[in-house]
Amino acid sequence: MTRLALPAFPLDNRRFVGLLFLAPALLYILLLVGFPFLLAIAFGFSDVTVGNTDLNFVGLQNYLAVWENDIFRQVFETTIRFTLISQIFILIFANILAIIFTQDFTGKWFARFIFILPWATPVSLAMIGWLWMLDTKYSPIDYLLLQTGFLGPNGILSNNRNLFWLATPDLSQISVIFVQVWRMTPLATVILMAGLSSIPTDILDQAEVDGSRFMRTLLQIKLPLILPIMVIALLFSMITMFGDMTVVYVLTRGGPVDYTRVLGLYSFQVGIEGGNLAQGAAISLFAFPLLLAMAIFMLRTASRAEVQ
């Protein structure tokens, strides 16, 4: 018996279907990430202003000028420092919370819901809330400390009625890092929870049968198995935070002095508020080689850990 040859149907072609499914994501990346990114590179090599976006090539002039700017170098260092310190805390808290939230306990779903809120809340709205919480004069935290004798005359922490959370060099930096950790930890936790849930139960059962206790199971089985996912969570969190300007824009606008000024904010202040679009673009692009190197290193680390 001869089989009838059916006409080729495009959706039978796996390669075509794969491309079709990828198309929306590719289009999104090309239009909303790729194009602005290329435009920023072009701006960085030109003398564009907010009033004139004609691309006149000026070579490396903007990058050299930015590098010679003392404020930029401080801003760059602050951005790296804030990012690295935050990631340490995010990693610690996300691991602890992921372990807690993968256990069975009453009210787990509600606790998870509450916990995800910082990530789900629009960042500008959340920051306005924190701006109020950390207000230099009317902070509710200060009020509680005042009522409990930690602040005020003969106070344990200070004789002042306020700690000036966003006004002193040390506390302003601690406040910004704290708020970033508060904001970013839920995402890292959710990613790690997914990783923990994907560990085959037979491995954990075997460990239990072999008499492995909680810490040993955690350190020698769970954490090594979720290491690739942990690296991805870290990468997401680092890149998001490195490019963020909303937190400091709302809370401190970079102050006091330049203590909390980060790259995203400085780029905005120079490029949009100051009108020097070319130099604003150059400032923002300084982060790119560093982020690219970090991403390659971390993805390779994740890949190696997965293979092992």
Partner 1 sequence: MNRAIYLLIALTIFGALGVGISAQGDYADGTEISLLQWSHFVPRYDEWFDAYAAEWGEANGVGVSVDHVNFTELFSTLAAEIDAGDGHTIVEVLFSPASFIDGLHDLGDINAAAAEAHGERASTCQAASYLPVVDTYYAYTHGYVPDPGDYDIALWTEAGYPEGPKTWDDLLKGGRAIYESSGIPVGIGMSPELDSRMANRAAIWSFGGSVQDENENVVLNSEETIAAVKYLAQLQNEAMTDEVFGWTAASNNQGLIAGELSYILNSNSAYRSLQKIDEAAAANIGFTSALAGPAGAWASSHVWQIYVIPKYVEGDELAAAKQFILDHTANYSDATYYSELYNFPCYASAVPELDGWLEEDPWGSMPPNKFEVLKTVNDWSVHLGFPGVTNPAISQVFAESIIPNMTAKVALGELSAEEAVAQAHERVEEIFNEWRARGMVGGGDM
Q: Which of 41, 42, 55, 65 binds partner 1 (CB under 8 A)?
A: 65
Q: Which of 77, 208, 273, 306 binds partner 1 (CB under 8 A)?
A: 273
Region 93-152 residues binding partner 1, contact defined as CB under 8 A: 131, 136-138
Residue 51 contacts partner 1 per CB under 8 A: yes
Distance of CA 156 to the CA centre of its chain: 35
Residue 37 contacts partner 1 per CB under 8 A: no
Residue 79 contacts partner 1 per CB under 8 A: no
Cα-based angle 237, 34, 47 (whole degrees, multiple of 5): 105
> Could you tell me the smallest distance in angstroms from the CB atom of residue 164 to partner 1?
5
Decide: residue 204, CB within 10 A, 0-12 exposed, 13-18 middle, 19+ buried: middle
> Could you tell me the smallest distance in angstroms from the CB atom of residue 48 to partner 1?
9
The interface region with partner 1, picked from 66-74, 197-205, 218-226, 291-299 by CB under 8 A, is: 66-74
Q: CA nearest 186: which of 121, 104, 108?
A: 121
Residue 160 contacts partner 1 per CB under 8 A: yes
Q: CA nearest 264: which of 245, 251, 292?
A: 245
| Closer residue to partner 1, CB minimum distance, 18 or 275 | 275
β partners of residue 52? 49
151 close to 163: Cβ distance less than 8 angstroms: yes
Q: Which of 118, 155, 243, 274 binds partner 1 (CB under 8 A)?
A: 274
Residue 269 contacts partner 1 per CB under 8 A: yes
Residue 253 contacts partner 1 per CB under 8 A: yes
Which amino acid belongs to residue 95?
N
Residue 252 contacts partner 1 per CB under 8 A: yes
Q: Which of 37, 41, 42, 49 binds partner 1 (CB under 8 A)?
A: 49
> Could you tell me the smallest distance in angstroms from the CB atom of residue 49 to partner 1?
5
Residues ≥6 apart with Cβ < 8 Å to 11: 17
Sign of the CA dihedral running 109, 112, 118, 121: negative
122, 128, 130, 135: CA torsion to nearest 10: 170
Q: Which of 17, 26, 29, 50 binds partner 1 (CB under 8 A)?
A: 50
Distance CA(208)–CA(136), nearest Å, equals: 52
Residue 255 contacts partner 1 per CB under 8 A: yes
Is residue 2 helix, strand or coil?
Answer: coil
Return residues touching partner 1 (CB under 8 A). Answer: 47, 49-53, 65, 68-71, 131, 136-138, 160, 162, 164-169, 172, 252-258, 261, 269-270, 272-277, 279
